Amino acid sequence: MDKFILFLIEHYFYSVPLLVVSILLIRSNAIKGGKKITPQDLINLTNQDAAQLIDLRSSNEFDDGHITGSINIPYTDLEDRIHEIKKQEDKSLVLICDTGSQSANAGEVLNKSGFEKTVILSGGIGAWRLDNLPLV
């Protein structure tokens, strides 16, 4: 470990840019597609009628269980079916997938199409299930 640290110090002109690029990459992935929210935050939004839920999983996964009030638009069909999503200034557009990773990509697509208030269920439907919350 000492040799590694010594190497980084001696080759600072390589290690500093690498560190900066790593930090920027991690940061950009963290904010990609919209703000991340917890299942509890989602419950609060839906109780206030301030959320429109889009489930990005396949139709079969959606039929196996989904969050009440969510609309199924599979990620693979998102660009073709984006017209089905109503722009509502007073509501956040909550994106839901299996783990939360696909939602970030969908958020980028929606942001480019003019949807500004996109948020992502952090951990996706898996986090919802871990918290023992109901699915229909």
Tens-place pLDDT, residues 27-86: 766 667 788 999 999 999 999 999 999 999 999 999 999 999 999 999 999 999 999 998
**Cβ pair 78, 63 in contact under 8 A:** no
Please spell the DSSP secondary structure of the chain, one letter per residue.
-HHHHHHHHHTHHHHHHHHHHHHHHHHHHHHTTSEEE-HHHHHHHHHTT-EEEEE-S-HHHHHH---TT-EE--GGGHHHHGGGSPP-TTSEEEEE-SSSHHHHHHHHHHHHTT---EEEETTHHHHHHHTT----
Q: Please determine, for residue 119, whether its predicted confidence score (pLDDT) is greater than 80.
A: yes
The pair of structure tokens assigned to 39 is 């299942």
Report the share of the chain in percent with pLDDT over 90. 60
User: So what's the pLDDT on residue 18?
Assistant: 87
